[in-house]
């Protein structure tokens, strides 16, 4: 039996940190987004996404409105709603989901085709422009929603619609060549394969992966001229094959390049396909890109895609903190990629990456109240330039209420609502626990409960609820360098492999595993190749990366530095932050203005108190300057 | 008698540093540029500038080619050639200049109009689009060339052509409203006024200045629609009134904004006009902007205009060293501005700024051999991103041979060839020496010779060649904090006001003034508001700012730092640099890669030798990484 995730339906989360975030998503974010999709929030930008389906079903008249991929907002919301229905049964929501699914069904064409843009606006141009038109992308998201409703909410209507859609896609693209302009259908088809067992969908996903990059001129040859029509809201150049990773066959790619979300959705699908097929060349490519991203192209918060231009990876070590793009969707996609890599190899690096993204770059995308979202997640903000000066237009000091391209908010909502998927896996004789998030999993060896003080405190525990002879493999986060392990209050030693401690026993019901570890503040230092970080440190504690907001400091952020020997105290939450938050306090120095723009005098340093907060919680009080990397004085 | 520059024809430069640079300009740069303008350099980009004049004169057929302001390349070259003819009489060059001027004369229209773009391509559209069409800009440069040929080379043919052109402009714009889309005509008209004494030209320049910003919507109201025609090579938005400083009346402007060269040409004209008219409001605006630029918007090298987008000033303290635009032309224009400010007030800050630009940001624009030029002058270069990654496309590690928009090379050539203009001024009883550049000036009190070891050594001297009773006002550069002054080998003290020492005497022929001063290495520190510079130092010695090239160091530039107490030695030139160059050598530290992308370990530091060279000489050996601001360890 290969390694499989334990289904979201078999995992009940009960966690001090995440349960409240899931509650916000179910109670605030999902209802708020639904209103936006239905254009019921006057102060938010127009969405029209539900109306587009009504028009495609012939039940409303008017013009299609929005991005060519507007349908995907509905799909991602449905996926989030599916998990929400599992987390918190809600009859009224379930009815509205059913109605929306029925509407989607009525908008589906006879032959299974499903896309409101083309149905409403260009029925004659279906499947003619794969580079820009996002039909396969929208289909992939719809299929993911269909699978999620089936798995998490026991609702199969959308799954049936999606099977017709997938069959329509297979009918067409099994014969004819096609490369998705924006990867995503591959993820959807693989999930549909997992849900239905129908190998046709797996093979179709593999065919899409195999064709990509085989002929680097494919998009040049197959993209129609369309003067004046901007399907993606802007022109995509068919010759820019790096942008959508179609310049080189996927198995031969060596570094992450181009549009980050395209790259990462592709990698998530490749990792899933490799686990399914045992294709070593595919897995090797995944490993190369995982290493490239995490060792050379990732910010310390987990943010990826450093360039606003094309929302893209650029070159190794190009990680400017203040012009960082770091799209929320890219960090969400990093979780998908890492999660699928675990199926190939339960290596702690993958779980570590999931943890980093979940507690930092991805989570920062959402305001604490669940109502506003960042698309861009910088590591340094200077309000004198951000949002204004060229090169900083994309960087904002505050989460906006909604976005013209609204991909990130529902992406984050579905991730948080489906968090249970990412916690546990199992194979023939092992239960894997990847993340220390309080939960009870129904495994093939019965129920296991995980609970504890993480992420704020250094103790966690597992309780075996039913018992049996099996291995419990617990991931020890990479940042936990020392811990003590007890089984039933006796200290024990067990083998550790690649970041997991493997405890094999004949478990009795009520057996307990306890782990204690120090939650020290860590000072992180970057590779010297990262120009923008040398001589600086980033603070971390547990899974959290910290940042400094100017409003907490006595002086300007640009003036402060931290002596390398300064003690850093974990302190209780600063006013305005949730009370469980562990903040940091330390003695640093502030440079005083030396007198003129460029002065031969050394700036005078005055001692000052410095305060840091977890990165995900920034921009929740008064908007202002922020930085993650602080100058460190040796 | 107001303060006046001593004419370039009355100043003979004989200086260890600058004479050889003037020789390169006369012997290499000016002939090379002439060939380019005549399309005789196959490897350089096409210029067609001379051909455009032939077509306008009806002597060649074909299409106009180049920027709408292509004529200005010819004008700036003629201006440079004018000074070159004074520096080094050259019969063949003089003949070619005469021929070219005659061609320009033949291309001039009956009514005085002179512009090849409109004469060849759009004769019906003259003066219809002042925002984009650069007719007044080209006229300004042609007038400057006419004045230069008159003053420096005693040739008046172009001056006569330019008087007809200026009269044509006055005839039109004395009656009708007009605002130059790119300031420059104001400088030209004021120079023509100085050369001819005809107040009409001064008043026309004042009218152009007075109209600007009076009606912020002027360009919106007066710019024709022209779908598909990009006069400047790109669209200029009439509503972007900040771009060309037309949003606020010039006397009310408070900070430098928009296109840097437009801003600075305007300020140069304003300073000249203020000196001429005594208009205090105009002078106050110049002072405010001088302070704003030099205190808040200037790089330590003198580079200005930090943003590649619009080649523009942005906001105070936004000075990223690695994405710096710092157009060579903007630094040249800073010299013009400062030089005209001296006429209002001989304050050492203006001479200091001229010195800073001449020895650093402006001079760096030219390769040591005079053949290649930078348009953009960054303070930090990382070859892994520059020229490639979005946001760094404009930054190059090596001077290209020529540019599509070739404004900078001839601008630098005319500045260096006309250097004599910037050294001396006089009024009723004072001779001012602004720059320690070896030269002999013919003043109203006879000849004075300045010579010495500057810029490399700390001693200079003045010899009074004829004698008389007058004040010799010697500018002491702001970086010279201590000096000893001797008159005829006797130590003397004289009053110092605003950076000038005023020595009033009844001078005898052969009297000498000697100054000795220390040439210590200075560590400069930036205002703490400059995010990118805190915790760093820039090295300077004499007038030079220094930089580090990676090829001189043992390790990566991003890894090195300099202890605050490290001694810095002035050493002889590193291989590949001119032998007189004083380089710097010091003990620093290099960080060693801590082991992984983000490591809790402190990077290990190993001692290393660090070597710095004068900034202007960078990118003259092997192209590679460079930085000006180095991390400083307290």
Look at residue B403 and tell me whether its pLDDT is greater than 80.
no
Length of chain B: 634
d(CA B86, CA B97): 13
Q: Identify whether A27 is a catalytic site residue.
A: no
**Separation between Cα atoms, residue B59 and residue B50, nearest integer Å:** 11
Cα gap B474→A582, rounded to integer Å? 63
* Chain A environment of B538 (Cβ under 8 Å): 598
Mean pLDDT, residues B527-556 taken together? 95
The reply to whether residue B525 touches residue A316, judged by beta carbons under 8 angstroms, is no
pLDDT tens, A603-620?
899 999 999 999 999 999
Three-class secondary structure of residue B297 per DSSP: helix
Nearest CA in chain A to B318: A385
Mean pLDDT of A578-600: 91
Short-list B48, B135, B85, B98, CA closest to B406: B48
Report whether A151 contacts A191 (CB < 8 A): no
Chain centroid to CA A276: 22
Cβ atoms of B71 and B138 closer than 8 Å: yes
Collapsing DSSP to helix, strand or coil, A197 comes out as: coil
- Tell me what the mean pLDDT of segment B415-429 comes to: 97
Residue pair A610/A585 in contact (Cβ under 8 Å)? The answer is yes
Q: What is the rounded average pLDDT of the residues B362-372?
A: 94
Q: How far apart are CA B629 and CA B324, in angstroms?
A: 13
Q: Using the beta-carbon criterion (under 8 Å), do A307 and B391 form an inter-chain contact?
A: yes
State residue A116's pLDDT score: 97
Q: Angle of helix A408-417 relative to helix A328-344, nearest 10 degrees?
A: 40
Identify all chain B residues contacting A527, using CB atoms and an 8 Å cutoff: 593-594, 596-598
**Are A558 and B534 in contact (CB < 8 Å)?**
yes
Q: Mind telling me how many Å the CA of A244 is from chain B's nearest CA?
A: 17
DSSP notation for A229-267:
--TTSS---TT-TTTTT-SS-GGG--S--EEHHHHHHHH
pLDDT at B405: 63
C-alpha span between A525 and A631 (Å, rounded) = 11
Catalytic residue among A5, A79, A135, A311: A311
φ, ψ for residue A586 (rounded to 5)?
-160, 160
DSSP state of A552: G
Contact A474, A486 (CB under 8 A): no
**Cis ω on the peptide bond leading into residue B583 (within 30° of 0)?**
no
Mutation for B interface: A257, A303, A323, A391, most B CBs within 10 A: A391
User: Among A180-194, A447-461, A590-604, which stretch is predicted with the lowest mean pLDDT?
Assistant: A590-604
What does DSSP assign to residue A298? B
pLDDT at position A403 over 70: no
Beta strands in B263-414 (DSSP E): 312-313, 380-381
How far B401 CA sits from the closest chain A CA (Å)? 27
Q: Are B169 and B240 in contact (CB under 8 A)?
A: no
How far is residue B101's CA from residue B124's CA, in Å, rounded to a whole number? 25
Helix (H, G, I), strand (E, B) or coil at B179: coil
Going by pLDDT thresholds of 50, 70 and 90, the confidence category of residue A404 is low
Residues A617 and A407: beta-carbon distance below 8 Å: no
Task: For B75-103, write each residue's pLDDT tens digit.
Answer: 999 999 999 999 999 999 999 999 999 99
Kindly state the tokens that stand for A262. 């395209």
Nearest to A564 among B296, B598, B602 (CB): B602
Q: Which of B607, B623, B632, B627 is nearest to B548 (CA)?
A: B627
- 3-state class of A148 per DSSP? helix
Please provide the distance, in angstroms rounded to a whole number, between the alpha carbons at the two ends of chain A. 53
Residue from A133, A386, A407, A583 carrying the catalytic annotation: A407
Report whether B297 contacts B320 (CB < 8 A).
no
pLDDT value of position B409: 86
Res. B233 pLDDT band, cuts 50 70 90: low
Q: Cβ(A341)–Cβ(A330) under 8 Å?
A: no
Tell me the average pLDDT across A319-343. Answer: 97
Whether this prediction's pTM lies above 0.90 is answered by yes
* Interchain CB distance below 8 Å, B526 and A598: yes
Contact present, A586 and A567 (Cβ < 8 Å): yes
Alpha helices in B88-217 (DSSP H): 91-107, 116-120, 135-153, 157-173, 185-196, 199-211
Q: Which residue of B has its CA nearest to A563?
A: B634
User: For residue range A49-88, what is the model confidence (pLDDT) as tens digits?
Assistant: 999 999 999 999 999 999 999 999 999 999 999 999 999 9
A416 pLDDT band (50/70/90 cuts)? very high
Beta strand pairing status for B430-433 and B467-475? parallel
Give the strand pairing for A4-5 and A424-426: antiparallel
Among B228, B237, B291, B528, the residue to mutate for chain A (most A Cβ within 10 A): B528
Query: How far off is chain B from A557, nearest CA to CA, in Å?
Result: 8
What are B423's two structure tokens? Answer: 């050294």
Alpha-helix residue ranges (DSSP H) falling in A479-525: none
Min mean pLDDT across B404-418, B486-500, B516-530, B604-618 is at: B404-418
With 80 as the cut, is the pLDDT of residue A594 above it?
Answer: no
Q: What are the backbone dihedrals phi and psi of residue B248, each rounded to the nearest 5 degrees, phi first? A: -140, 140
Residue B407 falls in the annotated catalytic set: yes
Please answer whether residues A138 and A115 qualify as being in contact, where contact means their C-beta atoms are separated by less than 8 angstroms.
yes
Residue from B37, B144, B136 nearest B83 by CA: B144
Please name the member of A384, A538, A593 whose beta carbon is closest to the beta carbon of B528: A593
Cβ contacts of A323 on chain B, cutoff 8 Å: 391
CB atoms within 10 A of CB A44: 17
State mean pLDDT over A176-196: 97
Q: Coil, strand or helix: which one is B380?
A: strand
Task: Give chain B's radius of gyration (CA, Å).
Answer: 24
How does pLDDT run across A135-157, given as a tens digit for each residue?
999 999 999 999 999 999 999 99
**Residue-wise pLDDT tens digits, A81-128:** 999 999 999 999 999 999 999 999 999 999 999 999 999 999 999 999
CA distance B213 to B218: 8
* Backbone CA torsion sign across B23, B29, B35, B37: negative
Residue B133 contacts residue B124 (beta carbons within 8 Å) = no
- The answer to whether the Cβ–Cβ distance between A591 and B534 falls below 8 Å is yes
Could you report the predicted ipTM of this complex, rounded to two decimals?
Answer: 0.93
Q: Which of A227-231, A346-350, A556-560 has the lowest mean pLDDT?
A: A227-231
Starting at the edge strand that comes first in sequence, how are the strands of the sheet with A430-433 ordered?
A4-5, A424-426, A430-433, A467-475, A500-508, A496-497
Helix ranges, B253-407 (H): 260-277, 280-292, 328-344, 348-356
**Mean pLDDT of the residues in chain A:** 95
- Which member of A309, A382, A600 has the closest CB to residue B524? A600
A–B interface: beta-carbon pairs under 8 A: 158
């Amino acid at each position: 039996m290969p390694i499989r995730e334990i289904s979201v339906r078999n995992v009940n989360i009960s966690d001090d940190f995440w349960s409240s975030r899931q509650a916000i998503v179910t109670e605030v974010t999902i209802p708020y987004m639904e209103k936006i999709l239905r254009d019921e929030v006057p102060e938010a930008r127009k969405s029209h996404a539900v109306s587009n389906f009504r028009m495609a079903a012939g039940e409303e008249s008017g013009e299609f409105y929005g991005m060519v991929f507007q349908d995907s907002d509905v799909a991602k919301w449905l996926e989030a709603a599916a998990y929400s229905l599992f987390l918190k049964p809600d009859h009224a929501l379930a009815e509205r989901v059913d109605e929306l699914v029925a509407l989607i069904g009525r908008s589906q064409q006879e032959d299974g085709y499903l896309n409101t843009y083309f149905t409403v606006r260009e029925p004659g141009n279906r499947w003619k422009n794969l580079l820009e038109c996002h039909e396969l992308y929208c289909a992939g998201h719809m299929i993911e929603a269909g699978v999620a409703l089936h798995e998490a909410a026991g609702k199969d209507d959308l799954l049936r619609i999606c099977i017709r859609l997938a069959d329509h896609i297979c009918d067409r693209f099994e014969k004819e060549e096609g490369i998705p302009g924006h990867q995503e259908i591959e993820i959807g088809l693989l999930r549909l394969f997992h849900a239905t067992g129908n190998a046709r969908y797996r093979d179709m996903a593999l065919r899409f992966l195999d064709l990509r990059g085989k002929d680097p001129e494919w998009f040049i040859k197959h993209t129609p001229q369309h003067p004046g029509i901007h399907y993606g809201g802007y022109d995509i150049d068919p010759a820019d094959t790096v942008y959508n990773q179609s310049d080189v066959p996927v198995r031969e790619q060596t570094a992450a390049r181009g549009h980050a979300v395209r790259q990462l959705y592709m990698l998530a699908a490749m990792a899933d396909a490799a686990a399914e097929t045992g294709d070593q060349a595919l897995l090797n490519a995944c490993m190369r890109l995982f290493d490239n991203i995490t060792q050379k192209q990732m910010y310390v918060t987990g943010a990826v895609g450093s360039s606003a231009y094309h929302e893209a990876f650029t070159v190794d070590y190009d990680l400017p903190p203040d012009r960082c793009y770091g799209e929320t969707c890219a960090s969400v996609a990093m979780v998908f990629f890492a999660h699928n890599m675990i199926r190939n190899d339960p290596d702690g690096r993958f779980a570590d990456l999931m943890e980093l993204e979940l507690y930092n770059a991805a989570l920062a995308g959402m305001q604490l109240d669940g109502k506003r979202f960042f698309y861009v997640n910088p590591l340094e903000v200077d309000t004198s330039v951000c949002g204004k000066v060229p090169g900083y237009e994309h960087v904002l000091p505050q989460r906006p209420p909604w976005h013209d391209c609204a991909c990130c908010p529902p992406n984050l909502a579905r991730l948080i609502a489906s968090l249970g998927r990412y916690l546990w896996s199992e194979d023939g004789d092992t239960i894997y626990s990847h993340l220390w998030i309080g939960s009870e999993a129904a495994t093939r060896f019965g129920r296991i409960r995980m609970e504890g003080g993480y992420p704020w405190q250094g103790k966690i525990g597992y309780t075996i609820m039913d018992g049996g002879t099996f291995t419990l493999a617990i991931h020890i986060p990479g940042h936990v360098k020392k811990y003590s392990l007890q089984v039933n209050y006796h200290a024990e030693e067990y083998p550790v492999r690649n970041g997991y401690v493997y405890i094999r026993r004949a478990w009795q019901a009520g057996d307990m595993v306890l782990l204690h570890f120090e939650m020290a503040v860590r000072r992180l230092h970057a590779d010297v190749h990262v120009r923008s970080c040398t001589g600086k440190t980033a603070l971390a504690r547990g899974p959290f990366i910290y940042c400094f907001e100017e409003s907490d400091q006595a002086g300007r952020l640009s003036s402060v530095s931290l002596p390398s020997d300064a003690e850093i105290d974990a302190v209780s939450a600063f006013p305005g932050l949730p009370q469980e938050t562990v903040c940091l306090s330390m003695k640093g120095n502030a440079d005083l203005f030396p007198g003129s723009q460029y002065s031969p005098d050394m700036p005078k340093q005055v001692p000052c108190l410095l305060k840091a907060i977890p990165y995900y919680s920034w921009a929740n009080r008064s908007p202002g300057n922020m930085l993650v990397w602080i100058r460190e004085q040796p």
